[in-house]
A = this chain, B = another copy of it.
């Protein structure tokens, strides 16, 4: 089943409020890492999978990309993208990654920011990416870290009585598949995959691994969100790069 949590009104409202604060994990950990991995974008054609509100599509255009297609399953998100990030050279389409078909098109760059952990069939997605990439094209994506997703249940910091974090609880690592966690609404579904599955799936589908980043917070992030120091204790995100 394809999950469309971003069209849940409660989730969407709270999520947008979080993102608009500009003080998020994405701002200080994930986006800096993704941007650091980007090639020279000038003249490139880009596919942005799970584009959300389109901020990364706009980033690509601002850095010289010739054409971007942004795809997202959520009509809420695509409406927001069209409102806030419209541009002559960006096309936003409302379609799931699973259903996306772009026959006869290929891209220099495919990006996906914190979306592939919502996808049940990762090999199928990577096959699609491989087909949609030009020769020497690049796939840059971020996903929740297997260390963060492994244990079943929600919230895995084990705490002292006073609330300080004692350690991160890890379990169920080799049991891949569905995990439900509570994030604004109950039962948001993501899929846990091991590190070896993530990497080997890329390689088996003809991609060449160029780099893996396990980002920590920027200095500004540590100042504005002190809890990001915990990224030093357990990583929460992993963007491999073709």
Contact = CB atoms under 8 A, between A and B. Distances in A.
A189 to B, nearest CB: 22
Given A209-B199, A235-B194, A169 B168 contact: yes
A174 B212 contact: no
Contact of A214 (B156, B170, B194, B214): B194
Interface in A207-239: 208-214, 216, 231-235, 238
A167 interface: yes
Contacts of A158: 158, 167, 169
Contact of A200 (B150, B174, B211): B211
A134 interface: no
A195 interface: yes
B173 A171 contact: no
A112 to B, nearest CB: 18
A151 interface: yes
Given A151-B167, A158-B158, A195-B214, A173 B203 contact: no
Interface of A: 147, 150-151, 156, 158, 166-175, 194-196, 199-200, 203, 208-214, 216, 231-235, 238
Given A174-B214, A194-B235, 10 more contacts: A156-B167, A167-B170, A167-B171, A168-B169, A168-B170, A173-B235, A174-B233, A174-B235, A196-B213, A196-B214
